[in-house]
Amino acid sequence: MKLPPLQYVRASSVSEAVDLLVQGAGDARILAGGQSLIPVLAFRLAAPAVLVDIGGIADLKRIDITDETVTLGALVRWVDIERSTALKAHMPLLPAVMAHVAHYQIRNRGTVGGSLAHCDPAAEMPGLAVTCDGTIILEGASGRREAPAVEVLTGALAAEIAEDEMIVALRFPRWRPERRWGFAEFARRQGDFAMAGIVAHFDQDADGVARDVHIGVIGATDRPTRLPGAEAALEGRIPDAMTIRDACRAVQDEVEPPEDIHASAAYRRALAGVMANQALRQAAGLPAAANGQ
């Protein structure tokens, strides 16, 4: 359907964008790449009076890597992450996951900030942000604040962002060079939203024991979330096939899947376990299981 009537303004800086949000008094929305927001408008799920286009703010397009952190500006696009040689070297999980985000044309325009603000429980970047200890940096009328991703991405299409605030960046702690990682998701068609997906990473000590295990789920819960029971099943153990099977059972015990037209809760629960097996076997360097799991 056609978009609802609206006004359109361009912001040339973050402070100007925040001023425009304040003027909008709750009826203004930030427009980044528009790959989530414009469908929302087309479905008339929202009808803001004003769109504040931040697409021209060059400062928000940066990928910054320091000794301590990896920071993605709000306007970094999926294709920028997919092609970034610096990220491939310093946080290879991020570019690897991008192949799963929507389609080629969407990846040329969709942004980190837009996806986080939209907060779809099946989307990849919110899952990465929550699982990999991301910090979301926001700017609003009362200044800049930082919050753990898990405190911002608290519900389906309901990020905790104030009316006068916008996301300016997502920051991850620097990735250890030898870190093991895996990602698996299942969608009915290439590029569709995941019915279940698992993000996993851990470090291994000299004895091959898994340390600092992070396992997060998308698509099979009402929000992206880490799975402490599954993490505990792997923490301090050697990630062999048996241990991974234990962790997958813990995933299935722990997820609370929604039921909808696409899949029953039981199916999503089973699928989350299968995805965990794929992701953890990838992380551990084990071959894919013979039965396709």
Q: Which of 11, 35, 112, 210 binds another protein (CB under 8 A)?
A: 35
Minimum Å gap between C-beta 102 and another protein is 8
CA dihedral 79, 81, 82, 84 (to 10 degrees): 110
Q: Which of residues 80-139 bind another protein (CB under 8 A)?
A: 99, 102-106, 108-109
Q: Any contact of residue 293 with another protein (CB under 8 A)?
A: no
51 vs 74, beta carbon nearer another protein: 51
Q: Which of 190, 261, 287, 290 binds another protein (CB under 8 A)?
A: 190
38 vs 96, beta carbon nearer another protein: 38
Distance CA 66, CA 179 (A): 17
Distance CA 184, CA 219 (A): 12
Distance CA 26, CA 58 (A): 25
Residues that contact another protein, how many (by CB under 8 A): 32
Q: Which of residues 36-65 bind another protein (CB under 8 A)?
A: 38-39, 41-43, 51, 53, 55
Residues with Cβ within 8 Å of residue 177, at least 6 apart in sequence? none
Minimum Å gap between C-beta 55 and another protein is 6
Distance CA 194, CA 209 (A): 30
191 vs 229, beta carbon nearer another protein: 191
Sign of the Cα pseudo-torsion (82, 97, 122, 26, in order): negative
77 vs 201, beta carbon nearer another protein: 77
Residue 62: both structure tokens together: 């940066």
Q: Any contact of residue 34 with another protein (CB under 8 A)?
A: yes
Q: Any contact of residue 270 with another protein (CB under 8 A)?
A: no
Minimum Å gap between C-beta 231 and another protein is 32
* Burial of 1 per CB tally in 10 Å (0-12, 13-18, 19+): exposed
Treating both helix axes as pointing N-terminal to C-terminal, what angle do 265-284 and 241-254 enclose, rounded to 10 degrees?
150
Tracing tokens 């709000």 back to the chain, one arrives at 74
In the 8-state DSSP scheme, what is residue 27?
S
Residues that bind another protein (CB under 8 A): 1-8, 10, 31, 34-35, 38-39, 41-43, 51, 53, 55, 79, 99, 102-106, 108-109, 189-191
